[in-house]
Amino acid sequence: MSCNHNCDTCGEKCDTPQTEQPHELSRIKRVIAVVSGKGGVGKSSVTAMLAAAMNKKGYKCAVLDADITGASIPKMFGLSGGIASDAAGMYPAETPSGIKVISSNLMLENESDPVVWRGPMIAGLVKQFWTDVIWGDIDYMFIDCPPGTGDVPLTVFQSIKVDGIVVVATPQELVSMIVEKAVNMANMMKIPVIGIIENMSWVVCPDCGKIIKVFGTSKALGEAACKFGLPVLAEIPYTAEIVAAADGGKMDTEIFEYTEAAADIIESGLSVR
């Protein structure tokens, strides 16, 4: 109960969690976890937009949907149906632009069927997505983590060699506190935080074009980013175009300028060879 997940300062003789190796036919160069301290901030749409932006740069990209009970990545990319497998392992689905995706929703008979599982089963499936899926050659893999700092994010951080974390937030003050929780967890696990992306930063009036900050002046960027010295990777507005692309399964074909700067920072900070 007193574990702080930092084995360097611990005198207990317990079993240290070991990172798992990906499938022998997978060659994954960089892994980026997209996290949030709470739900409803648009983390999955940001994950999809980042993968699409890096894919546009010519990199081979993948998305591992670790939000097992709230999976939405397949719908955003227009994917449905089962997962192919053989004696060697499972194969991810692939979007029209070549982004590889694995998700619990691709394993369901109906995409609206609930996944009513307890924590150990959910964590086990996340590990399987890493160890049993034949990803092939991947330059950048983005892991869409469920919100919070519980079982699944902990499983991801302990089982997978994560190169960096992107924290997603919205402007209101409450979220600023939640951002700090996510950043503190990353620091505890000794995983670098690449930066913060603020989603739903503003809306544009369809009549006059005026920018309206529905949640007021940003607290997540003004307080949390400064406190931890983190770069702001992107400020993404709430637009009808983004919503339509997500609902229509076109997140890999409709590229938005809001994540291009974030992709540049990821590329320069986490270069692949």
Write out pLDDT tens, residues 205-232. Answer: 988 989 999 887 776 666 777 888 888 8
Residue 61 three-state SS: strand
Higher model confidence: residue 42 or residue 3?
42
pLDDT at 70 over 70: yes
pLDDT tens profile 81-102? 889 999 999 999 999 999 999 9
Count of C-beta atoms within a 10 Å radius of residue 80: 14
- Residue 2 pLDDT level (bands cut at 50, 70, 90): low
- Angstrom distance (rounded) from CA 171 to CA 189: 26
- Angstrom distance (rounded) from CA 86 to CA 228: 46
Which residues are registered as beta bridge partners of 232?
196
Q: Annotate 34-53 with DSSP letters as a single string.
A: EE-SSSSS-HHHHHHHHHHH
- Predicted confidence at residue 39, as pLDDT, reads 83
- Predicted confidence at residue 177, as pLDDT, reads 76
Backbone angles phi, psi at 135, to 5 degrees: -85, -25
> What Rg, from alpha-carbon coordinates, does the chain have?
18
- Predicted confidence at residue 199, as pLDDT, reads 92
pTM over the 0.85 mark: yes
Higher model confidence: residue 227 or residue 2?
227
pLDDT at 175 over 90: no
Which residues are registered as beta bridge partners of 94?
100
- Predicted confidence at residue 7, as pLDDT, reads 53
- Angstrom distance (rounded) from CA 135 to CA 165: 21
> What residues contact 152, with CB distance under 8 A and at least 6 apart?
66, 67, 68, 119, 122, 123, 126, 145, 146
- Angstrom distance (rounded) from CA 234 to CA 256: 11
